[in-house]
Structure 1
Amino acid sequence: MSLRSRRCSPPSRPDRPARPAPLSARPGRAAAALLTAVLALAPAGPASAAPRDDDDLALRARLQELVDRPDGPPGAIAVLRDGDRVRVYRAGTAEVGTRRPPRIDDHMRLASAAKAFSGAVALRLVDCGQLGLDDTIAERLPTLPAAWGAVTLRQLLQHTSGLPDYSNAPDFVALIRADPHHVFDSRHLLDFVADEDLEFTPSSQYHYSNSDNIAVALMAEAVTGQRYEDLLAAEVYRPLGLRRTSLPSGYELPEPYLHGYAVQPPEPPEDVSTLFGASGAWASGGIVSTPRDFSAFAAGYAGGPLISAATRRQQRTFVEGASEPAGPGANRAGLAIFEYSTRCGVVYGHTGNTAGYTQFGAGTPDGRRSVTVSVTTQVNERVAPDLLAQLRAVEEDFVCALSAG
């Protein structure tokens, strides 16, 4: 993969405030199941390179087995990318009641796989010297609680920060329950837990938290003086040639899109594609993309020149910890990336799940090849443990197909 551009955004003036003052409301915190549904509660070929279906019936059958389950997704699509060669596998339908199959340019919610995008922005800024992995919240985001001040960018990216998870805060959950389309001020999401101390001493343990990547995006804005959405475009979309990827604030999806469903047999699947707005997830889970773009990102982020070799070595410093939901094989957590050790070798990437969608995207260490598997229902250990086990096995089969070439 060759980057189309290599740039970092100009630094902001040091006297410019990068984050609004905290909101006055200071809700408490509590576990809440609803936001699990909202937040996962995780190199492009030339435009003329046309994707094609492969004749590997066994892999198609594996996707079909998922779709045929009573609790399975109405649709599934997997993409294997090897340089400019793209193979597409699909089963089921993009919309219940139609015969339209899932397609490589259908839009879909990436859920917590969006965390890898915030990691890409931050690590690009590390390469430019605008951010340091040991920069602290106190240094970069002094308006956040002083109790969080010693937390570093490295710890945020690796989910070892101890930040309380705003998506579990009772007031946040209450707003979602009252109005799933509520438009949040995304840059104030951490205000929902701003009266709380850290949950543990930073670096003492791993705990997946949606708050971490909100803080990462705020750090990126603080050092550049630019909106996170613009940083995504400059540092990720353009270099990797992602033409159909965006970070919306509303609940609508661009056409065409893969419809996402809540599946609770014996009831018919319920379309939840636009049930929730994206502003409450933002840098932690709000990105909308397509299978084509997601596969290009997975390759470019896993390896290659998007990130320097020195920064990538830091990124691949792992601790025990799984993505949400867990990906194939044995999982370990790096800096906004996970290592998946399968029976066919190691790949690096991220997963995600939200209402109507579950994602897995990973690339080979050299960034030349990638695999993505996308299904149109939410699958995680809490809501569908048996389905998750089967999905992880299918993902591993696709990793093995990627390794076989």
Structure 2
Amino acid sequence: MPSSQPRTRRLRLRAACVAALCLAALTPATASTAATPGPRDTDLRRQLEALVHTPGGPPGAIAVLQQDGHRRVVTAGVADLATGRKPQINDHMRIASVAKAFSGAVALSLVDRHALRLDDTIGRRLPRLPRAWYQVTLRQLLNHTSGLPDYSDDPEFRQIITADPHHIFDPHHLLDFVADEPLLFRPGSRYHYSNSDNIAVALMAEAVTGTPYEQLLRELVYRPLHLRDTSLPQGYRMPRPYLHGYAFAPPAPPEDVSELFSASASWASGGIVSTPADLTRFIRGYVGGALFGPDVVRQQRRWIPGAASEPAGPGRNSAGLALFRYETRCGVVLGHTGNTAGYTQLAAATPDGRRSLTFSVTSQITDSTNPQLLQRLRAVQEDFVCALLGRPGH
């Protein structure tokens, strides 16, 4: 945080960011590849420019449309307000809750290898956690029907991170903040998006393998998908170069919050740093079944209608296992969204993984802070999906 800003404004901005920290991750219809061409690159760029220039809009945006071997990159605005540098495909960025898809990739890879079962319970794999949580299964954690209270909503957690946003948490004890709380509902009885779920998923993966989660990411996700610029740090520093993320507290100018928070505060739920190029490779492989077999894919795609990611993705949303179904007017894509201080993300692909869209903007856009801007963002994302699927969408 720039030292020239008044202390009261710094604290007010930190509190606003903390309130939204890491909130928010069968046979679906497959889009035809022979349909009428969708919006042209000039049309897409015009839409992205309009989003950036909307009052309160993000300073920068980058979208990558991958269609088999053909890649289209559309950018608007800047990656850094201080220098005016344009966004690039290899710029690092916080992917926020898209990190939940990475924890899903680890867990489902272990299910595919029979090291974990979807019906494994917290009581069996994580007996140190509260007895009241023992019946929660891995499946319920992955599709957010567990009922676990969200540790990022806990007053003590918020107090710590507001006082010191760079505080390094021990990720293995993040759930301790809500260990004295009962489940919100009977496991499996309803949908409730919770950052606690994917912390427990990562802890389960560590428990059955005896391997740190960061190493499991390298072995089960980064290496097979050839991700070269993706990591799960503990601290707040961003690898260079990076897309700078900004927060707004009018009438003050946008404030750079790229390095406001320690990634340890969200860990497996939202701490991963990646690039548009790597995120494209990830979502194509993850959705396309490169990391686990068809039996696990079928289990992953058992959808809960109306259950949205955070923020909601384009079209009608349904939840699977660390994956969401976005049914747009042009067809279906599968993926995950995310938002954190300075960033809002969408990564999605066609069910066969052959076509993908990553869509990144450099401010946090949520339904609670700016519902009109989120509605516009989702509309632009849907137009990009139509372009990806080769459909006009009228």
TM-score of the pair, normalised by structure 1 = 0.88
Aligned residue for 1:242, secondary structure, equals coil
Given that 1:81 and 1:87 are in contact with CA atoms closer than 8 Å, whether structure 2 keeps it comes out as yes
SS at match of 2:102: helix
Give the CA deviation at 1:33: 6.2
Mapping 1:3-402, distance limit 5 Å:
34-42=17-25, 56-320=41-305, 321-402=307-388
* Residues 64 and 280 in structure 2, CA contact (< 8 A), matched pair in contact too: yes
Q: Which amino acid aligns with 2:374?
A: L
1:329-370 CA-to-partner distances (Å, cap 9, x unmatched) read 000000000000001111100000000000000011001111
Residue matched to 2:10: none
SS in 1 for 2:326: strand
Whole-Å separation in 2 of the counterparts to 1:208 and 1:177: 23
Amino acid at match of 2:118: L
Is contact 1:36–1:354 with CA below 8 Å preserved after alignment? no
My pick for the range that moved more, 352-361 or 54-63, is 54-63
Identical-residue share of aligned pairs (%): 65
Q: Give yes or no for contact 1:71–1:264 (8 Å, CA) kept in 2.
A: no
Shift, 1:306, TM fit: 1.7
Distance 2:346 2:212 in 1: 27
SS at the partner of 2:263? coil
The SS at the match of 2:386 is helix
Q: Letter of the 2:296 partner, please give it.
A: T
Instruction: Please identify runs of 4+ aligned residues in structure 1 that moved more than 6 A.
Output: none
Distance 1:267 1:99 in 2: 19
Q: How far apart in 2 are the matches of 1:219 and 1:399? A: 35
3-state SS of 1:70 partner: coil
**Alpha-carbon distance between aligned partners in 2 of 1:151 and 1:40, rounded to the nearest angstrom:** 21
Cα distance in structure 2, aligned partners of 1:182 and 1:37? 17
The answer to whether the 8 Å contact 1:127/1:308 transfers is yes
1:9 corresponds to: none
Deviations 1:25-81 (A, max 9, x none): xxxxxxx96534321344xxxxxxxxxxx9610000110011101200000000001
State the secondary structure of the residue aligned to 2:336.
strand
- Aligned counterparts of 1:264 and 1:307: Cα–Cα separation in 2: 44
Question: 1:395 offset after TM fit, Å?
Answer: 0.6
Residues 23 and 194 in structure 2, CA contact (< 8 A), matched pair in contact too: no
Tell me how far apart the structure 1 counterparts of residues 383 and 390 of structure 2 sit (CA, whole Å). Answer: 11
Gapped regions of structure 1 (runs ≥ 5): 1-31, 43-53
CA contact (8 A) 1:70 1:265 kept: no
The one-letter code matched in structure 1 to 2:176 is D
Tell me which amino acid in the other structure corresponds to 2:48: L
Q: In 2, distance between residues paired with 1:191 and 1:40? A: 18
Q: CA deviation at 1:391?
A: 0.4
The one-letter code sitting in structure 2 at the alignment partner of 1:283 is A
Output the amino acid matched with 1:83: D
Aligned-partner residue type, residue 115 of structure 1 = K
Q: 2:57–2:373: 8 Å Cα contact kept in structure 1?
A: yes
Give the distance between the partners of 2:67 and 2:196, measured in 1 at CA.
34
Q: Indicate the larger mover: 82-91 or 378-387.
A: 82-91
Q: Distance in 1 between matches of 2:54 and 2:250?
A: 10
Report the secondary structure of 2:382's partner residue.
Answer: helix
Q: Counterpart of 1:246 in structure 2: which amino acid?
A: S
Per-residue CA deviation, residues 305-347 of structure 1 (Å, 9 max, x unaligned), is 3221000000000113100000000000000000000011111
**2:4 maps to what in 1?**
none
Structure-1 separation of matches of 2:17 and 2:150: 13
TM-score between the two structures when normalised by the length of structure 2 = 0.90
Contact 1:245/1:288 (CA < 8 Å) preserved in 2?
A: yes
Partner of 1:25: none
Q: Could you give the per-residue CA deviations for residues 264-283 of structure 1, whole angstroms, max 9, x where no partner exists? A: 34321110000111001000
Kept in 2: contact 1:304–1:368 (CA 8 A):
no
Give the CA deviation at 1:179.
Answer: 0.3
Residue of structure 1 equivalent to 2:6: none
